[in-house]
Amino acid sequence: MPNIKPIALQNGHISNEAIEERQIAEDKLKGSTKVNMKAPKELSKNGKKLYKNIIELLPEGFLNGGDTFVVSIVAEALDRMSVSQVKINADGLFSEEGDENNAVKTYERYSKIFEKFSAKIGLSPKDRSALAILMLNDKDNNEDELLNILKS
């Protein structure tokens, strides 16, 4: 599947009609359900705290109900990375025989999961800059008199 960007991030020439149609479709897919502040019961105790922290870090209204799963994955990955880090700190990177500590592999595995899924909800600087562009474009569209006339 090609790398398709949200319409607000498109930088090629697109007709106003195509932009409006695409925005309506994207808004419809986003849905209106808000993300639940209560963490899923399946998460670890620390994962639940991290879940709430992640939601509080992001702008209000950015996440919706479908994002609960992604936030859960990110929170649990962070928790498992933390548990692995404690084990690495206690036991070292290698055993006395020179074998790599299994906690290192676990940390790496969950680090990749964290990286992949945190990008989906805008937790990296790159993704935040993309969100900033979205917010600026939205502000510009709201202040554009011609677009406001067309919307009414």
Q: Are residues 114 and 130 in the same domain?
A: no
Report the pLDDT value the prediction gives residue 130, as an integer from 0 to 100. 66
Q: Are residues 59 and 104 in the same domain?
A: yes
Question: Is 28 domain-assigned?
Answer: no
Of residues 99 and 137, which shows the higher confidence score?
99
Q: Are residues 53 and 74 in the same domain?
A: yes
Is the pLDDT reported for residue 1 higher than 50?
no
Report the pLDDT value the prediction gives residue 53, as an integer from 0 to 100. 93
Is the pLDDT reported for residue 23 higher than 80?
no
What average pLDDT does the structure give for the chain? Answer: 80
Contact indicator for 91, 101 with CB cutoff of 8 Å: yes
Question: Is 15 domain-assigned?
Answer: no
Domain with 84 in it:
34-120
Question: Is 85 domain-assigned?
Answer: yes
Query: Which of 8-17, 110-119, 140-149 has the largest mean confidence?
Result: 110-119
Of residues 47 and 14, which shows the higher confidence score?
47
Q: Are residues 38 and 110 in the same domain?
A: yes
- Confidence category of residue 7, pLDDT binned at 50, 70, 90: low
* Diameter of the chain measured on Cα atoms: 74
Q: Are residues 47 and 72 in the same domain?
A: yes
Question: Is 149 domain-assigned?
Answer: yes
Distance between CA atoms of 131 and 6, rounded to whole angstroms?
10
Contact indicator for 8, 134 with CB cutoff of 8 Å: yes
Q: Are residues 105 and 130 in the same domain?
A: no
Residue with tokens 């548990």: 83
Of 61, 55, 41, 37, which Cα lies nearest the Cα of 118? 55
Report the pLDDT value the prediction gives residue 103, as an integer from 0 to 100. 95
Angle at CA of residue 143, ends 139 and 147, nearest 5°: 105
Q: What is the pLDDT of residues 38-59, one digit of tens each?
A: 999 999 999 999 999 999 888 7
- How crowded is the C-beta side of 77, counted as CA atoms within 13 Å? 18
The least confident of 1-10, 23-32, 119-128 is 1-10
Question: Is 86 domain-assigned?
Answer: yes
Report the pLDDT value the prediction gives residue 83, as an integer from 0 to 100. 97
